[in-house]
């Protein structure tokens, strides 16, 4: 019996794979056997991630992508179609924050976050679905949302709106393309240890952990494991869902 978590023979695109959670997702999918396209704006960093995956025995390539730019998105997919002829897994991970209280939030800040975190998901997913349907691939689409999109967070109205938006988007798309065998899901992380949280003081980290049922911040590996599950054969009958990976920060 083949291992149900094996992604052998699958082509996986991970957006925002040049660092942080996206880098870990790219490594995780590659270690499960997928050929990974690690896409981001910074080619030096995306190239280093692809090289590290190859050093570890996996298969990956770096690709240039600005998710908010339609011409960049179509160019990426032209390249994927030419080089690989198909796409099995899309992980929409690229995302930014630009925090501020509503009364001081500029329209530029609102537009910047929405164009990357929501419109970017629309642009990339649309191209991915076209390619999956053309090749009759029972594909997997996983978008990295946030619990902030489910519970709100003061100072993040733009980010929360975008992350709530990807939930409605994914649920609608799951209904549209379920008959094609393509699943569409969201992973919603809570507080994850990143360069940003590493800068917090011990007291601040303890206060954050105190709000989390499991008593600790999450790791990028925690998120990558949930993405791998949804991308694997184990999740064949799971679509239109939001997988809350917050250690119990959010228990609805």
Structure tokens at 215: 């008593």
What is the rounded end-to-end Cα distance, in angstroms, of the chain? 38
94 binds ligand NAP (CB under 6 A): yes
Residue in 14, 192, 243, 249 binding ligand NAP, rule: CB under 6 A: 192
Site for ligand NAP in 130-169 (CB under 6 A): 144, 146
Q: Which stretch binds ligand NAP (CB under 6 A): 2-10, 62-70, 130-138, 232-240?
A: 62-70
Residue whose CB is less far from ligand NAP, 110 or 137: 110
d(CA 200, CA 206): 10
Q: Are 89 and 34 in contact (CB under 8 A)?
A: yes
Q: Are 80 and 87 in contact (CB under 8 A)?
A: yes
159 is catalytic: yes
Residue in 42, 106, 172, 236 binding ligand NAP, rule: CB under 6 A: 42
Residue whose CB is less far from ligand NAP, 31 or 194: 194
Residue in 34, 36, 66, 174 binding ligand NAP, rule: CB under 6 A: 66
216 binds ligand NAP (CB under 6 A): no
Residue in 28, 76, 95, 249 binding ligand NAP, rule: CB under 6 A: 95
Residue in 13, 22, 131, 158 binding ligand NAP, rule: CB under 6 A: 22
- Spot the catalytic one: 159, 191, 229, 237: 159
Active site residue ranges: 159
Residues that bind ligand NAP in the complex, under the rule CB under 6 A? 15-16, 18-22, 40-42, 45, 65-68, 93-96, 116, 120, 144, 146, 189, 191-192, 194
């Amino acid at each position: 019996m083949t291992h149900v978590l094996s992604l052998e023979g699958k082509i996986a695109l991970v957006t925002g794979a040049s660092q942080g959670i996206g880098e870990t997702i790219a490594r995780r999918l590659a270690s499960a056997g997928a050929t990974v396209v690690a896409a981001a704006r910074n080619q030096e960093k995306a190239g280093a991630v692809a090289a590290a995956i190859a050093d570890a025995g996996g298969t990956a390539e770096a690709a240039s992508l600005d998710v908010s730019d339609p011409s960049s998105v179509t160019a990426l997919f032209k390249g994927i179609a030419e080089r690989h002829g198909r796409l099995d897994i899309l992980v929409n991970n690229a995302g930014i924050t630009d925090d501020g209280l509503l009364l001081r939030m500029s329209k530029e800040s609102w537009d910047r976050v929405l164009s990357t975190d929501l419109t970017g998901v629309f642009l990339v997913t649309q191209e991915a679905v076209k390619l999956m349907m053309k090749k009759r691939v029972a594909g997997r689409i996983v978008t990295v949302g946030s619990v902030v999109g489910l519970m709100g967070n003061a100072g993040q109205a733009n980010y929360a709106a975008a992350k709530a938006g990807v939930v409605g988007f994914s649920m609608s798309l799951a209904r549209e393309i379920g008959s094609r065998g393509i699943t569409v899901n969201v992973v919603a992380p809570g507080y994850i240890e990143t360069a940003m949280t590493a800068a917090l003081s011990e007291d601040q980290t303890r206060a954050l952990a105190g709000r989390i049922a499991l008593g600790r911040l999450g790791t990028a590996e925690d998120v990558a494991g949930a993405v791998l599950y949804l991308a694997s054969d184990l999740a064949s009958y799971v679509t239109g869902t939001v997988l809350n990976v917050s250690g119990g920060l959010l228990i609805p």
